[in-house]
């Protein structure tokens, strides 16, 4: 199980966080997100419409980064501060 | 100093505090960003989302980067999170240096960073409905200026 945390527009769609099961002991961020998107058309559409970045355990991470049980994936839409 | 504040901030008081004990500084630059009415859209407030931990670490890296690029004596970045009403300050930055160019440029650099590269997300709350705000093209080109200089 990994925790997936959503921010900004994506938190409105998905809630702040969800637990996601892993099919394998270690999977990529992209695989976990793809599985969530398969169940949620609105999330899939949002992902396709923006450049989303990821962090794993509070460190910016590429979609190819592998995660294991207990890790936390943050799903980050384009930043907009100030 | 880096502060994420859930409460309204007072830029004048922050600047007054910042100015204390700066005997070596010849130049202070400061910037205040306000939540404004957006043309005809009756904006009431912004909701600032952030990623606790990630956001602070990201701003700390930019602050360290600014100290590497310019000889700063002191800097402060205060950014609101949560609901920020129209007319309130959403961000305050001040930089101190011996000469003005370093203070100006570091302040400009940090503000450009906050607009496009710090994990914040802004939702505009208005009478006509809520909408998430994406950076303008100009915000991205402003941030890119600092990267070009590295070439």
This model of the complex carries an ipTM of 0.92
Candidates B51, B91, B115; nearest CB to A7? B51
> What backbone phi and psi angles, to 5 degrees, belong to B91?
-150, 145
How high does pLDDT run on average in chain B? 94
For B96-134, write each residue's pLDDT tens digit: 999 999 999 999 999 999 999 999 999 999 988 899 998
User: Closest Cα of chain A to B51: distance in Å?
Assistant: 7
For B78-90, write each residue's pLDDT tens digit: 999 999 999 999 9
CA B35, A54, A77, A41 torsion-angle sign: negative
Q: Are B142 and B115 in contact (CB under 8 A)?
A: yes
**Is B33 part of the contact surface with chain A (CB cutoff 8 Å)?**
yes
Q: Which of B97, B100, B98, B58 is nearest to B79 (CA)?
A: B58
**Does A67 score more than 70 pLDDT?**
yes
Q: Which two tokens stand for residue B108?
A: 């400009």
- Record the pTM: 0.92
**Does B76 score more than 60 pLDDT?**
yes
Q: Which of B105, B89, B88, B86 is nearest to B97 (CA)?
A: B105
Q: Identify which has the larger pLDDT, B137 or A18.
A: A18
**Is B5 part of the contact surface with chain A (CB cutoff 8 Å)?**
no
> How high is the pLDDT of residue A37?
95
Q: Do A77 and B135 touch (CB under 8 A)?
A: no
């Amino acid at each position: 199980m990994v925790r997936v945390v959503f921010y900004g527009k994506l938190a409105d769609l998905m809630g702040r966080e969800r637990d996601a099961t892993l099919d394998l002991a270690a999977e990529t961020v992209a695989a976990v997100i793809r599985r969530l998107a398969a169940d949620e058309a609105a999330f899939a559409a949002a992902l396709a419409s923006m450049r989303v970045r990821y962090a794993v355990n509070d460190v910016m991470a590429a979609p190819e980064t592998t995660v294991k049980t207990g890790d936390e994936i943050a799903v980050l839409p384009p930043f907009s501060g100030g | 100093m880096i502060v994420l504040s859930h409460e309204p901030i007072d830029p004048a008081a922050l600047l007054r505090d910042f100015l204390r004990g700066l005997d070596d500084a010849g130049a202070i630059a400061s910037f205040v960003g306000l939540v404004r009415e957006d043309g005809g859209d009756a904006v009431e407030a912004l909701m600032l989302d952030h990623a606790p931990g990630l956001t602070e670490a990201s701003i700390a890296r930019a602050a360290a980067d600014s100290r590497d690029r310019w000889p700063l004596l002191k800097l402060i970045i205060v950014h609101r999170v949560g609901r920020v009403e129209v007319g309130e300050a959403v961000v305050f930055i001040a930089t101190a240096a011996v000469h003005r160019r370093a203070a100006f440029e570091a302040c400009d650099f940090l503000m450009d960073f906050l607009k496009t590269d710090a994990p914040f997300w802004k939702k505009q709350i208005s009478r006509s409905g809520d909408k998430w705000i994406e950076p303008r093209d100009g915000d991205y080109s402003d941030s890119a200026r600092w990267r070009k200089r590295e070439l």
